[in-house]
Amino acid sequence: MSAVGTEQVQSRDAAPVRRRAERWIAGIGMAGAAVLQGGFVLVVTRSDEATLQSTIVPGLRAAGLNFAAGDAEVILGTLAGWFGFSLILTALLCAIGFFFAAHRPRRRRTGWWFLAAGLVCLFGTQLILYPIAFFFFLSAALFAVRPPHPRSST
């Protein structure tokens, strides 16, 4: 039997592995991104111009974002579209990472999917959601440095 054949037999006979901590941490990150990015997108896209001018624009100006009052709807619509696109891409990368974490948990390469999700979350929100991106980075780091633990038999 070739070396590849014995490698496949060993992996089938080895104890099943799960990456519970990595998946939970990435799930917390995905939930945070969905709430914060998705919430921003919903608030901005569902608001009429009067609501934008009376509540959202003053809040953004207090946070340090200065722009012309006439451009507020265009700027916020563009920002909401960008946040929505990056949320979809983050969710897609995270779903691929969850798939590989469940079906091939021994592979350390699965962490690359969570790293990519963290980078998309980070740069897609223009560095605003760095605490949420940290969850994806932590999950990717755990895939890289933590050895897979076998499931308990009980």
Query: Residue 31 is encoded by which pair of tokens?
Result: 């939930």
pLDDT tens digits, one per residue of 138-152: 999 999 998 776 665
pTM of the model: 0.81
* Distance in angstroms (rounded) separating the CA atoms of residues 59 and 50: 14
Q: How far is CA 144 from the centre of its chain?
A: 17
Tell me the pLDDT tens digit for each residue of 84-110.
999 999 999 999 999 999 888 888 889
pLDDT band, very low/low/confident/very high, at 49 (cuts 50, 70, 90): confident
Strand (E) or helix (H) holding 18: strand 17-18
Q: What are the structural domain ranges in the chain?
A: 21-147
**Cα separation of 32 and 128, whole Å?**
13
